[in-house]
Amino acid sequence: MRTLYIHTIISMILCLFCCVSCNSEIPEEYFDQSTQNALSNLNQIMYSTTASTNSLKAGKATERFKIVHISDIHLPRTSVQEDNVCLKNLKEAISFSNLNDSKINAIVATGDYVSNNEKTNRQTIINNLNLFKSIFFDSSNRIPGFLCTGNHDTNMLTTDSTFYLSKEDIHQCLFSTTNYPNEQAEEENYYYADVKEPNGNIIRFIVLDNTDQEGFLSNTQQVSCITQKQVDWFIQTALQKNMTEKHSVIILTHHPLQEYSKNQETYMCGGTHLYKATLIPSIIDAFQQRSSISQTYKSTTSPTKAIHVNGDFTQAKGEFICYLGGHAHTYGNFNVGIEGRAKQIMLLANTLSPSLQNNNYGYIDRDIDHNKYNSFSIYCIDTNEKKIYITYFGATKNNSENIEIISYK
C-alpha cells in the first residue's frame, strides 16, 4: 500500500511538472497559428451549403455536427521533452474543442493512450491511463467526450500475466468517469451515447471494445478481440434500442476494419482480428439493407471457438455514417463495406505523438520546432447532404490547410 501511495504521489508530481513545462517547451504562437488555420478551414465547412449569406447573418443557417478526433498519444514517450509535447498536443485538442468559435459538438479518442515494453509494469500503465483520463475529462472540457480502448492499453507485451490489465482495470481507469450520459453495458467497456445535432437530428456514438475477452485467453496487444456478449449487445441494443429515423450512427473502434498487411496494402499495419475484419461490417451491412443476418465467424487462433452473428434489422431505424479509428499512426479514409454493397467509410486520426509518425502511407512533417508538432482531425457531418467534411489541426499529409469532402451514402 505504501508503494502504491508513493507511485501515486510521483505520478501527480510528474503531471504537475508536465503541465508547467509543456507550456514553455513550444511557443504559444504555434498553437495560435494552427488554431487560426483550422478555424479558417472550419468556417468554410461548418454550415450547410444551402445556407445563404443573409441566413448566416440572421443566425438561421443550419450548422453541421462537428467532431474533433484524436488518437494514439502513447504515454509516456522516451524523454521528458517528448512527454511534454504529447501532453501539450492533448491539451491543445481539448482547448480547441472548447473554443466558442470552433463550435465543436463532440471530441472522440480512439485508443492507445499508453506506450509500453516488456518491462513496463502494471502500475505504470494505470498511472498513465489515469493521467490521460484526468486531462480528457478535465472540468474545463465542456464538450461531450467519448473514448474506446486500444491494443497497447492492456499491457500484454510480456508472458508475465501480473503485468496485464484486466477488463475491470481498464473499466476503472477509463470508463468509470464521463462528462456526458451514456448507456453502458454493466461492468463492460462498450457503450452508446446520443448527442443532439444543431439541426435537431441525433448522432448515436457506439463505442466498441477491441480488447474484450474473459480473462487473458488472447494477447490483445497483438489481436483485436470481441466477445459473443458484445456482438449480441451491438446488434440488439446499440443499433436498435430507442433508435428513430432521426438517428445516425458513428462507431468508435481502435483497429482498422481490414486484414493485416505487412506491405501496408491496408491500414491494419500490425496485429490481426480474432474473428476476421468483416464481422462488424457484415452486421452494419444488414443494418443498412434492413435485412436479417445469420453467420458464424470462427476464431483465427482456435477453430473450436466461434462468434454467432444473428440479427433482424427489417424494422430498424436510422442510418450509418462511418467508423472512427486509429492504430496506423497516420490519417486515413477508406471503404470497409461488403463488396458491391453500400459504403462503409472508416476514418483514422493521426497519432498525437510526433516521434511515432507513420510515413508509409504518405509523408507528414511533424517538426516540433514549428506548428506541425500537433496533428488531429476535425469533421463536419451533414446528415441532410449525407456528407463528411474533413479538415485538420496542425500537420497534414501535404502540409496544406486542405479540406476533403466524402459522401457516406
pLDDT tens digits, one per residue of 217-230: 899 999 999 999 99
Rounded mean pLDDT, 248-274: 93
| The pLDDT value given to residue 82 | 82
pLDDT value of position 160: 92
Query: Residue 167 in 3-state DSSP?
Result: helix
At residue 2 the predicted structure's pLDDT band, cuts being 50, 70 and 90, is very low
Residue 20 has a pLDDT of 36
Mean pLDDT of the region 158-187: 93
Is pLDDT above 60 for 92? yes
Which DSSP state fits 298? E
Which pLDDT score is estimated for 30? 81
Enumerate the β-bridge partners of residue 335: 345
Residue in the structure block whose three cell numbers are 436479417: 292
What's the mean pLDDT in 67-78? 93
Between 174 and 214, where is the model more confident? 174
Q: Which residues of 216-235 are buried (b: 16+ CB within 10 A; e: fewer)?
A: eebbbbebbbbbeebbebbb
Mean pLDDT confidence for 42-60: 69
pLDDT of 29 higher than 90:
no
pLDDT of 146 above 70: yes
Torsional sign, CA 128, 132, 133, 139: positive
Break the chain into its structural domains and give their ranges.
2-407
Quick one: average pLDDT of 278-305? Answer: 95
Mean of the pLDDT values across residues 342-367?
A: 94
Confirm or reject CATH 3.60.21.10 for domain 2-407, answering yes or no. Answer: yes
Specify the amino acid at residue 263. Answer: N
At 59, the pLDDT band (50, 70, 90 cuts) reads: low
Minimal CA–CA distance to 180: which of 248, 262, 108? 108
| pLDDT for residue 53 is more than 60 | no
| E strand or H helix at 284 | helix 279-289
Least confident of 191-195, 261-265, 315-319, 388-392: 261-265
Enter the C-alpha cell of residue 213.
Answer: 475477452
With bands split at pLDDT 50, 70 and 90, how would you rate the model's confidence at 377? very high
Q: Reply yes or no on whether the pLDDT at 389 is more than 60.
A: yes
222-248: average pLDDT: 97
Q: DSSP class of residue 166?
A: P
* Band of pLDDT at residue 137, cut at 50, 70 and 90: very high
State yes or no: pLDDT of 15 exceeds 50. Answer: no
Q: What is the pLDDT of residue 302?
A: 82
User: Quick one: average pLDDT of 58-71?
Assistant: 86
Please tell me the pTM assigned to this model. 0.90
Residue 342: pLDDT band with limits 50, 70, 90: very high
Type of residue found at 115 = S
Q: What integer pLDDT is reported at residue 367 of this predicted model?
A: 83
Q: Return mean pLDDT, the chain.
A: 89
